[in-house]
Amino acid sequence: MDGNQTFNVNLSLPNLSTLGVTNTLGGVPIPIGLALGQDTATITIVDNDVANGTIGLITGGLYTAFENGGSIPITVLRTNGSSGTVTISYLTSQGPTPNGAVPVVNGLGDFVPTNGTLTFVDGQTNSTFFVQVIDNSTNNPTHTVTLTLFNPTGGATTNNAVLPINGTLSILDNEVANVPFGNADPAFGPGSGRMETFLRWRGSVRRRLEVSIANK
Ligand SMILES: [Ca+2]
Ligand SMILES: [Ca+2]
């Protein structure tokens, strides 16, 4: 992760005369230094540790969607280098519910299990796969999908200290009864029309209150 490093090397001949050595050729002294055509060279150490990148999920690996959210994008990141074409494999599996309850299986379940391989071309730093979540009409606790990345290729690496390779998609219930007090209900569709209700004043006459609702 240091990038390319360079340094210079300087070459020199020892002073043989100080060592009591006479440098001669056929009895003729050879001047010291003339044997070096070049006495300085630059050495470059090419960093190949992370040039192809480290691949993982977003920080924390946590994704959230309502159960009626449809196709949920799962962003995968590539950092510490983006050279060359690399790939990463992914898969999903049923995760535990945060409160320890047994996940409710409804038809196909809470989501459509998926797996595959993402390709990052040269210079590409993020990609996306999708998890299809399945709506139901029952009140249920939050369900989770375990997300797993594995088998990086093309020189890419995985490193949990940089980006997590395991994550969680939380599927939130959208039934009315489960919407916490004070929060907007994403499933509420009032439609339009007329609503009637009656108010009674204590000890007084009966009155009728009419309210019209416009769906905007
Ligand atoms: Ca629902
Ligand atoms: Ca539900």
3-state secondary structure string across 62-128: EEEEECCCCEEEEEEEEECCCCCCEEEEEEEEEECCCCCCCCCCCCCCCECCCEEEEEECCCCCEEE
Distance 68 CA to ligand 1 centre (A): 6
Q: Minimum mean pLDDT among 45-59, 81-95, 116-130, 136-150: which range? A: 45-59
Distance 186 CA to ligand 2 centre (A): 12
Q: Is 54-178 a domain of CATH 3.40.640.10?
A: no
Mean pLDDT of the chain: 79
Distance 108 CA to ligand 1 centre (A): 14
* Confidence band, pLDDT 50/70/90 cuts, at residue 168: very high
Mean pLDDT along residues 174-201 = 64
* Confidence band, pLDDT 50/70/90 cuts, at residue 212: low
pLDDT attached to residue 127: 98
Kindly report, residue by residue over 79-131, the tens digit of the pLDDT: 999 999 999 999 999 887 666 555 555 445 789 999 999 999 999 999 999 99
**Considering all CA atoms of the chain, what is the largest pairwise distance in Å, rounded to the nearest integer?**
136
Q: Minimum mean pLDDT among 56-65, 67-76, 141-150: which range? A: 141-150
Nearest ligand to the C-alpha atom of residue 172: 2
C-alpha torsion 51→53→54→56, nearest 10: 180
C-alpha torsion 56→59→62→64, nearest 10: -110
Amino acid type, 62? L
Distance 90 CA to ligand 1 centre (A): 27
Distance 1 CA to ligand 1 centre (A): 47
Percent of the chain with pLDDT over 70: 56
> What does the DSSP 8-state code read for residue 157?
B
pLDDT attached to residue 203: 65
Q: Which residue would you say has higher pLDDT here, 30 or 130? A: 130
Distance 179 CA to ligand 1 centre (A): 11
* Confidence band, pLDDT 50/70/90 cuts, at residue 36: low
Q: Which residue would you say has higher pLDDT here, 196 or 76? A: 76
Nearest to 94 by CA among 143, 47, 136: 143
Distance 61 CA to ligand 1 centre (A): 25
pLDDT attached to residue 88: 98
Distance 170 CA to ligand 2 centre (A): 13
Kindly report, residue by residue over 189-204, the tens digit of the pLDDT: 666 666 565 556 566 6
* Confidence band, pLDDT 50/70/90 cuts, at residue 178: low
Domain ranges of the chain: 5-45, 54-178
Distance 173 CA to ligand 1 centre (A): 6
Q: Minimum mean pLDDT among 43-57, 108-122, 146-160: which range? A: 43-57
pLDDT attached to residue 107: 40
Nearest ligand to the C-alpha atom of residue 139: 2
- Is the whole model's pTM more than 0.85, yes or no? no
Distance 107 CA to ligand 2 centre (A): 13
